[in-house]
Amino acid sequence: MKYIVEKFTNFGVVPVVVIENAADSPRLGKALSDGGLPVAEITFRTPAAPKAIQLMASSCPDLLIGAGTVLTIDQAKTAVASGAKFIVTPGFDALVVDWCLKHDIPLFPGVMTPTEINMALNKGLTALKFFPAEAAGGVKTLKAIGSPYGDVRFIPTGGINLNNLGDYLTLPSVLACGGSWLVKKALISGGEFEIITRLAQEAVEIVKEVRK
């Protein structure tokens, strides 16, 4: 877990991927690596997710690949068997959390309220996904909700883009930001991998500027 947290801190941005065709994943992985952002969260929002993780992991061994939108233990098992190195859930599911902790799988459960943060802390988890970030009040809410929890780091996800990325990254409580804007489905399915590389580079530059 410590290794993943350190990587996330260095990256500053974790691309959140919804992929329709698993065969696109190797080119996507290369595009992200070429853009200086060798990390991807492949979400279980499509049936292609397990195969996409497998293909990306085999073709891009230096890429840090995880699974997102994991809702069940079976999905978590499938993700890990496919090569995922970390699990991200949209909400706090005690069954999934306990399974991941039992099997030493790095996990970032989704939270939005102090109650959910307390539930995570009771499990020994201090790196959490804050979702849906913008819909829940954005930077203002995260600043307020993070104040009582000095040891907790958040990965805000949902509605983040190049325009507000820097605002989130300035918060001491933010570990990294989850972002789908640089890996939109239309870009992937349309083979626009050069654009994905450029968007990754732009995100990396913002991270460097804010955290220099």
Catalytic residues: 41, 129
CA distance 134 to 187: 23
CA distance 29 to 51: 13
What are the structure tokens assigned to 156, written together? 């805000």
Strand order of the sheet with strand 107-108? 107-108, 87-88, 64-68, 39-43, 13-17, 177-179
Phi, psi dihedrals of residue 117, rounded to the nearest 5°: -65, -40
The answer for residues whose C-beta is within 8 angstroms of residue 176's C-beta and 6 or more apart is 8, 9, 11, 12, 13, 14, 155
Which residue in this structure is represented by tokens 């009582």? Answer: 148
DSSP string, 61-127: TTSEEEEES--SHHHHHHHHHHT-S-EE-SS--HHHHHHHHHTT--EE-EE-SHHHHHHHHHTT--E
